[in-house]
Chains A and B, each alone.
Chain A
Amino acid sequence: MSVDVKMAWRNIWRNPRRSILTMTAIAFACLLLVFMLSFQFGSYDTMINSAVKIHTGHLQVQAEGYQDKRSMRLVVPDPNAIGSILDETSGIEAYTFRANAFSLVSSKERTYGIMVIGVDPIREANVSTLKKVIRQGSYLSAEDMDQALVGELLAKNLQVGLGDELVVLGQGRDGSVAATVVQVKGIYNSGMDEFDRSSIHIPLKHFQDVYDMRGSVHEVVALGTSLGKIPAIKRAVAGAVEDQDPKHNLVVLDWMDLMPGLVEGIQLDLVSGLILYVILIVVVAFSILNTFLMAVFERRKEFGVLMAVGTTPGRLTKILLLESITMTIVGIVFGMIAGSLVTWYFQVNGISIEGTSEVVRQFGIPERMFPQLSFLSVSIGPILVLFITSLAALYPALKVRRLRPVEALASV
Chain B
Amino acid sequence: MKKSTIFMTCLTVSIVITLGTTAFAQDPEALVRAAFDYYRGKASVATVKMTVHRPDWERVSTMKAWTKGQEDGIFRIVSPPKDAGNGTLKRGREMWTFNPKVNRVIKLPPSMMSQSWMGSDFSNNDLAKSDSLLKDYSHTLAGTETHEGKTVYIIKSMPNPDAPVVWGMQTLKIREDHIFLSEVFHDEDLKPVKIMTAHDIRMLGGKLFPMVWRMRKADVEDEYTELTYSELTFKEDLPDNLFTLSNLRNPRR
Nearest CB to that of B104 among chain A residues? A167
Assembly CA distance A167 to B105 (angstroms): 10
By a CB distance below 8 angstroms, the chain A residues around B106 are 104, 106, 111, 167, 169
Tell me, yes or no, whether A171 is within 8 Å of chain B by CB: yes
Please, could you name 19 A-B residue pairs with CB atoms under 8 Å apart, sorted by A?
A73-B57, A102-B115, A104-B97, A104-B106, A104-B108, A104-B112, A106-B104, A106-B106, A111-B106, A113-B111, A167-B102, A171-B116, A175-B52, A175-B59, A175-B119, A176-B80, A176-B83, A177-B77, A179-B102
A111–B83 contact, CB under 8 A? Answer: no
Tell me, yes or no, whether A112 is within 8 Å of chain B by CB: yes
By a CB distance below 8 angstroms, the chain A residues around B112 are 104, 111, 113
By a CB distance below 8 angstroms, the chain B residues around A287 are none
The 6 closest A-B pairs by CB, nearest first: A175-B59, A179-B99, A113-B112, A106-B106, A175-B119, A171-B119
Nearest CB to that of B120 among chain A residues? A175
By a CB distance below 8 angstroms, the chain B residues around A175 are 52, 57, 59, 119
Assembly CA distance A216 to B123 (angstroms): 27
B59–A174 contact, CB under 8 A? Answer: yes
Assembly CA distance A221 to B108 (angstroms): 32
Q: Residues of A with Cβ closer than 8 Å to B?
A: 73, 102, 104, 106, 110-113, 167, 169, 171, 174-177, 179-181
By a CB distance below 8 angstroms, the chain B residues around A176 are 80, 82-83
By a CB distance below 8 angstroms, the chain B residues around A104 are 97, 106, 108-109, 112
Assembly CA distance A73 to B56 (angstroms): 10
| Total inter-chain residue pairs, C-beta < 8 Å | 54
Chain B interface mostly: mixed
A72 CB, nearest partner CB in chain B, Å? 9
Tell me, yes or no, whether B228 is within 8 Å of chain A by CB: no
CB within 8 Å of A: which of B50-104?
52, 54, 57, 59, 77, 80, 82-83, 86, 97, 99, 101-102, 104
Assembly CA distance A71 to B123 (angstroms): 16
Assembly CA distance A177 to B80 (angstroms): 11
Tell me, yes or no, whether B190 is within 8 Å of chain A by CB: no
Tell me, yes or no, whether B118 is within 8 Å of chain A by CB: yes
A68 CB, nearest partner CB in chain B, Å? 14
Assembly CA distance A167 to B106 (angstroms): 9
By a CB distance below 8 angstroms, the chain B residues around A106 are 104, 106
By a CB distance below 8 angstroms, the chain B residues around A180 are 101-102
Tell me, yes or no, whether B107 is within 8 Å of chain A by CB: yes
B102–A169 contact, CB under 8 A? Answer: yes
Assembly CA distance A284 to B115 (angstroms): 59
- Given contacts A113-B112, A179-B101, A181-B102, list 14 more A-B pairs with CB under 8 A: A104-B109, A110-B109, A112-B109, A112-B111, A113-B109, A113-B111, A167-B99, A169-B97, A169-B99, A171-B116, A175-B57, A175-B59, A176-B80, A177-B86
Assembly CA distance A171 to B52 (angstroms): 13
By a CB distance below 8 angstroms, the chain A residues around B52 are 175
By a CB distance below 8 angstroms, the chain A residues around B115 are 102, 113
B111–A177 contact, CB under 8 A? Answer: no
